[in-house]
Structure 1
Amino acid sequence: MTPRALKIALFTVLSIILSYYVAVLMHEYAHATTAYLFGYKSSPFDIKYGSWYLVPVSEAVDYASILASGHGVHEALIGISGITVTLILFLTSLFLLSRKCIQERSFLLSFFFWLADINLMEMFSYLNRTFIMGDIGEFIQGFNISPFFIFIPGTIIVCWALYRFYKYEIIKMFQTLPVRTIFMRRIFCGLPFGLCLYLLFIGKRQLIGKYFPILPIQFHYLLFFL
């Protein structure tokens, strides 16, 4: 392995770790900040951090009490704020990846690539939760609407995001970084898939039985774009 390839490998590991913390914390802080603005928290940083690797992390918002108090709209907005910030982080990363000043700096290029990927996979994993529980469930319950009002546009957005990421962003990385062999390219493409599985299952084992009816649809998405 050449010195430059070794440096890129190190940048990749550091970028994945850093982008993971940024993506997860910004998502949870979005929930907490919205709850703070509505008066349900004393601090926007008051979340459950879990372990050092943020599992199980939680916004620590009592949605049941908010709904019981007759503030369903507040519940919905607090619930949807996390995935909204996730989408913003993904789009921001795409924009920055297109900038020459970022492309000329290997670490920044690697960081925003993995930040885009982790946020994309988080968006991807939310499709199954539309029918189950979690943030999307709070939004649906707060507004008392059908989950298909989220699932249909959400599926369109995620399909576009997957197409954009796998069609353009990975190719840009191949052209910029020393990812030359077929073996290394398969590893590079496989890492986002591995992160998808991580975000689908980590911390949600109690729901795994409910996930299987929807997982085949998601795997078809990935196989199509790969």
Structure 2
Amino acid sequence: MNATSTAPAKPFDGKDILFGIAACICVVVAHAIAYLTHEYAHSFTAWALGWMANPLAIDYGPPTLYNIIFLGGVSDNVNYAPILAGGHGLAVVAIALAGMLIGNAALYYMLFLAARTRLVMTRPALLAGIFTLALMCAGNVWGYVPIRGFTTHADIAIAASGLHLQTWVMGLCLLPLSLHIVWHCLFRFLPQCLDSAAAKSDVRLVLIITLTGYWLFVFYGGEGTSGDYGLVSQLLSITSKYFLFPLSVAALVTRHHSARSMNRWLNSQSKADLTATSNR
């Protein structure tokens, strides 16, 4: 058998449509959770350091449809001005970076460890849900560094002000962590979940990979496209949306297809060897 041969693809059917709808609902819910863990990490850190009376008193924004679905108007409601004025620079750094480092980065690695347990690995739906939440955490990290790691405002700039540094210096310090999380999410965590979630359906495979690339490089990576965060962030967002997104989808589909073809070839070789041995 040729190594590049493949089994016939399963036809597109109603179950794939339902799967797509369920996947979209799942990513929206996971996005909300990751967004809130980010904001609560800010507020709880501020509360623990004595700079916020109620850690649950974040700004939940207006009751609009967009805010209810995507939480675009939600913010940590931390007043950094008196903390800076009081000379508590390290407190500013801790509070400003808590969202990215605790609410998203640390949570990402915890979710990956949870996904490796037998309890999760034997439950495809739970595994898919945990990966989706981890994806949102990775996207949040990417949306700050590098996308908004070289601007004049937002969390990275606030943290830099606490240490009297230029924002780009803080951004460069955090860049290795961000790059590792993105790489790990795409080439370690996603492959661990893909076969189970796709259930041998090429339609679901492509859908999962596309949604992964979109949320990471377009939804989160496109934060700076408007130009509100300066030219550098705008260029980084354009690169993320129009170069890294299609490139990541193409690379992941090709990588998974090649791995699956190789597995089929190895299985066919094993069967051929067993047949030859039994005929001797």
Shared topology, TM-score over 0.5?
yes
Structure 1 match to 2:234: 212
State which structure, 1 or 2, has the greater radius of gyration over its C-alpha atoms.
2
The answer (yes or no) to whether the contact 1:201–1:208 under 8 Å persists in 2 is no
Structure 2 match to 1:26: 37
1:48 maps to amino acid: D
Structure 1 match to 2:207: 187
Which of the numbers 115, 130, 142 marks the counterpart of 1:97? 115
> How far apart are residue 31 of structure 1 and its match?
0.6
Are residues 98 and 107 of structure 1, via their aligned partners in 2, closer, same or farther at CA, if it must alter by over 3 Å?
same
RMSD, aligned CA: 2.7
Q: Deviations over 1:161-189 (max 9, x none)?
A: 22222223222222212353444323211
Structure 2 match to 1:52: 68
Are residues 202 and 167 of structure 1, via their aligned partners in 2, closer, same or farther at CA, if it must alter by over 3 Å?
closer
1:90 maps to amino acid: Y
Are residues 83 and 67 of structure 1, via their aligned partners in 2, closer, same or farther at CA, if it must alter by over 3 Å?
same
Structure 2 match to 1:121: 139
> What runs of 5+ residues in structure 2 fail to find an aligned partner?
1-12, 62-66, 253-280
Counterpart-to-counterpart distance in 2, 1:194 and 1:178: 17
Counterpart-to-counterpart distance in 1, 2:36 and 2:136: 12
TM-score by length of 1: 0.85
Are residues 182 and 7 of structure 1, via their aligned partners in 2, closer, same or farther at CA, if it must alter by over 3 Å?
closer
Counterpart-to-counterpart distance in 2, 1:99 and 1:15: 21
TM-score by length of 2: 0.70
Confirm or deny that 1:12 pairs with 2:4: no
Q: Secondary structure at the match of 2:75?
A: coil
Counterpart-to-counterpart distance in 1, 2:225 and 2:47: 26
Counterpart-to-counterpart distance in 1, 2:197 and 2:182: 21
Which of the numbers 40, 43, 54 marks the counterpart of 1:43? 54
Counterpart-to-counterpart distance in 2, 1:221 and 1:202: 14
Structure 2 match to 1:175: 195
The answer (yes or no) to whether the contact 1:15–1:110 under 8 Å persists in 2 is no
**Aligned pairs, how many?**
225
The answer (yes or no) to whether the contact 1:28–1:47 under 8 Å persists in 2 is yes
Greater CA deviation, 9-18 or 169-178? Answer: 9-18
Confirm or deny that 1:198 pairs with 2:209: no
> How far apart are residue 37 of structure 1 and its match?
2.0
Are residues 157 and 212 of structure 1, via their aligned partners in 2, closer, same or farther at CA, if it must alter by over 3 Å?
same
Counterpart-to-counterpart distance in 1, 2:224 and 2:53: 26
Q: Deviations over 1:110-167 (max 9, x none)?
A: 1111011111111111122121121111111101124454333422222222222222
Greater CA deviation, 51-60 or 171-180? Answer: 171-180
The answer (yes or no) to whether the contact 2:125–2:197 under 8 Å persists in 1 is no
Counterpart-to-counterpart distance in 2, 1:56 and 1:204: 18
> How far apart are residue 7 of structure 1 and its match?
7.1
